[in-house]
DNA sequence: CATTTGACGCCAA
DNA sequence: TTTGGCGCCAAAT
């Protein structure tokens, strides 16, 4: 039985370089659009380099958080995407 | 099983 | 535009 959490990881793992999803989008793809907050909690407790969790940002365009520091996240996004938003 | 937690989202002021 | 407050949810305790 795959948990919501597993689903979230599958989705995030599938994000292509240059693609950025919001927590809400990830939640929707994982099966529950209203679980954006839970997605953050999940990505927070489970760090895994195979998962490009730095490509997940907030709906309002701000960067959100990151286990290894927001600066690091911003830097990675900047390398992959050209613009990160605000 | 009951509570707490927090990388969120949205709206009113 | 910036803040504050409330709702929502899966996980962790």
Per-residue pLDDT reduced to its tens digit, A45-73: 988 899 999 999 999 999 999 999 999 99
Q: Which residue is nearest to nucleotide B6 (CA to C1')?
A: A41
**3-state secondary structure (DSSP) of residue A48:** coil
pLDDT of residue A24 exceeding 70? yes
**CA A71 vs CA A64, A68, A76, A84: distances in Å:** 11, 8, 9, 12
Distance A83 CA to B2 C1' (A): 44
Measured in angstroms, what separates residue A73's CA from nucleotide C3's C1'?
26
Residue A81: alpha-carbon gap to chain centroid: 14
Q: Look at residue A81 in the predicted model and tell me its pLDDT.
A: 80
pTM of the model: 0.93
Size of chain A in residues: 86
Terminal alpha carbon distance of chain A: 39
- Protein-contacted positions of strand C (CB under 7 Å): 7-12
pLDDT, position A78: 92
**Is the C-beta of residue A43 closer than 7 Å to nucleic acid chain B?**
yes
Say whether the CB atom of A29 is under 7 angstroms from strand B.
no
């Amino acid at each position: 039985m795959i948990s919501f959490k597993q689903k979230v990881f599958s989705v995030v793992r599938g994000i292509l370089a240059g693609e950025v999803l919001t927590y809400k989008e990830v939640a929707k793809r994982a099966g529950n659009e209203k679980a954006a907050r839970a997605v953050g909690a999940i990505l927070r407790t489970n760090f895994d380099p195979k998962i490009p969790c730095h490509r997940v940002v907030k709906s309002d365009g701000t960067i959100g958080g990151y286990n290894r520091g927001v600066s690091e996240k911003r830097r990675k996004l900047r390398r992959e995407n050209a613009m990160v938003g605000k």
